[in-house]
Structure 1
Amino acid sequence: MADENQTPETDAAAAQAQQSQPQIRIRNQYVKDVSFENLAAQKGIVPQTAPQVRVGVNLDAKKVEGADGVYEVVMTLKVNADAGEQKVFLMELDYAGIFEVSNVPENQIHPFLLIQCPTMIFPFARRIVSDMTRDGGFPPVNVDPIDFLALYRNELLRRQQAQAASAGSPTGTA
């Protein structure tokens, strides 16, 4: 059933509005690098307490050479587990996505790549972390959801503070 109120003009306006909206498409996603070290097993240690797990995240984005509007975004998840003074396991995952991005102004591409793209690939990276820790002989580590907008804002604030601190410090001697 077609909408009786639609006219060729409203169809054209709707198509134009959709074309001007930011668009993103995942071309590919993949494990770029992965490492898991079961330090407890290598040393014959049986942890007496539940390990304390820490997760760190780092993001990087770069333009793919020779392809207009195509970017690679790499999310690095570092997972460390300690039981007291003993390291139990270390895991590092570089999970990447190749994204085709259009209709995003140049001054907004950086935040778009470091907020939207990681949000799209995070569930896949999270599952890999869970599977690897389980396969390594530990309870699966389910990484909490990450607010990539807050992460981006915090990094901008950290850089501004570092820049202000370096601008305020004397660089020479009199």
Structure 2
Amino acid sequence: MNIDDEIIENKIDDLYMMFVINNQKYALSSKYIIEIIEMLPITKVPFLPNYIKGIINLRSIIIPVMDARMRFDMEPMDYNERTCIIIIENNMDKIGLIVDAVNEVIHISPNQNMNINSQKDEFNKNFINGISEINNEIQLILDCDSLMKILEDKNCLNKETNL
């Protein structure tokens, strides 16, 4: 990798998708995001945790869908025209994350990412990788590994399936 490729890679690593869940802003590194789609019909699957709403068929790929509000122990909300699904991928696993609204893609440089103090393990249990403050607004930066790990922990639909 030459110096120009490294600079471009670092700039891409600093891009984050901003979205809202229960009036709180969250950020997720763009390197995990495949696409953002409108709500699709969700097929319920028995015996899954309540925050896994079921599965969707996205261009002949079956993807489990998680309601972020329910996973973060918030009151469920009726889906509306702003509700969407963020398709994320980590280590070849895909999941759809239902969020209230997607805002924008922003640049969060390492010096804008505040360190989490001694309770980092506790934050990781809550899927938080870091915190940033931009324009006097706090964004919680989600840890994609923790989000994806819950599927493996619950032994439910952690691999995509081709129809």
Superposition TM-score, scaled by structure 2 size? 0.25
- Which of 1 and 2 has higher RCO (CA within 8 Å, sep 6+)? 2
